Amino acid sequence: MTPVTMLVTGGAGFIGANFIQYWLKNNLNDCIVVLDALTYAGNIENLAPVKHNTHFTFVHGNICDTALVEKLLRSHNINTIVHFAAESHVDRSITGPDAFIETNIVGTHSLLKAAKTIWIDEPKSNGKSILDHRFHHVSTDEVYGTLLPQDPAFAETTAYAPNSPYAASKAAADHLVRAYHHTYGLEVTTSNCSNNYGPYHFPEKLIPLIITNILMNKPLPVYGDGKQIRDWLYVDDHARGIELVLNRGRIGESYNIGGNNEWQNIDIVNLVCDLLNDAFNHNSKLKMRFPSATSAAVGNAQALISYVEDRAGHDRRYAIDATKTSLELGYNPKESFESGIRKTLEWYLDNESWWQLCIEKAERDSSV
């Protein structure tokens, strides 16, 4: 199916923006239309590197607006949807689940309905064959619930057991995607990925939160005993995984994407502290650029660690078994954690204005 004209939902968010930059660099004949509501997590600046690319179009709008989605599918001859748009922060899903139900469930259903209308129903009612198409849904390992230390990692066959409103809303969306394939023949694939990290990651999530708080000499909040385990994947490896699923994945199937890289939260926090202590030690200019970062400047960012009450219902461990994706599609993460985390750190050191604006925006939003 080449060339691809792709609708990317949520393309102004963290993973969507990295995916778009990756895709346009590696698939020169393809076109991308982004649909994004620019919530607090969406930032048009994340797409600045591609904004002059003639193969790129940005549309400000909501995935719940089915008529708008239908219009975009028709007017741009879209044959592929890659669906990232979501409310994505577990803590926010605990304090305000409604937005998660609306975007993650109702919004996904709106996209499925529009895709079915344009790709299947309209051609059929005009006596034509259905259009070549693909609906790829980007999901999470959190739909599988939580693991004990000795449990095997989540496989695609693991029963769903979502524990947070966020995970439950993503699980519901996964089921709707599956049902639209089974019932209506919509050509879908789903990928379930572990925790991503890298550039453009909103500074409310663990790794960018720790980096930016050290640079502002603010406390580093660690939930409970800090021993929750997550698998971490560099965001470009997620983009490559999705590309493989789009190019080689079997219709109707789900594919796990992971980093084979389990870390306790407290170890991640200590690692980031060590790297920044070291960076300040070896680069005297950093002290001038970040005069607030006094703890890191004296080689002791760890002094900022502050244990806080655990998140309600906090899952203890996630781990991904990506054997199916690796055997069927040839997927393996390329970036080592050591190089990925260094790249990420450098990006945050070089892009202070970006993350300061994110923090201001989040504060403005929460005070409304």
Q: Rounded to an integer, what distance in angstroms lies between the CA atom of residue 228 and that of residue 219?
A: 19
Q: Rounded to an integer, what distance in angstroms lies between the CA atom of residue 86 and that of residue 119?
A: 23
Q: Is 145 left (phi over 0), alpha (psi -120 to 50) or beta?
A: left
- The interface mask with ligand NAD, positions 274-313, x = CB under 6 A, is ----------------------------------------
Among 12, 211, 242, 296, binds ligand NAD (CB under 6 A): 12
Return the range that interacts with ligand NAD (CB under 6 A); candidates 61-69, 149-157, 178-186, 240-248: 61-69
Q: Residue 78 in contact with residue 32, Cβ under 8 Å?
A: no
Among 6, 31, 193, 246, binds ligand NAD (CB under 6 A): 193
Provide the token pair at 279: 């960076």
Q: Does 64 bind ligand NAD (CB under 6 A)?
A: yes
Q: Does 345 bind ligand NAD (CB under 6 A)?
A: no
Please tell me which residue in 166, 180, 200, 331 is annotated as part of the active site: 166
Among 37, 47, 69, 143, binds ligand NAD (CB under 6 A): 37
At 154, give phi and psi (nearest 5°). -65, 130
Of 206, 183, 179, residue with least CA distance to 305 = 206
Return the range that interacts with ligand NAD (CB under 6 A); candidates 23-31, 127-135, 191-199, 351-359: 191-199
Q: Rounded to an integer, what distance in angstroms lies between the CA atom of residue 283 and that of residue 297?
A: 10
Q: Which residue is nearest to ligand NAD (CB)?
A: 13
Residues annotated as catalytic are 141-142, 166
Q: Interface residues with ligand NAD (CB under 6 A)?
A: 9-10, 12-16, 35-39, 41-42, 62-64, 84-86, 88, 103, 107, 138, 140, 170, 193, 195-196, 202
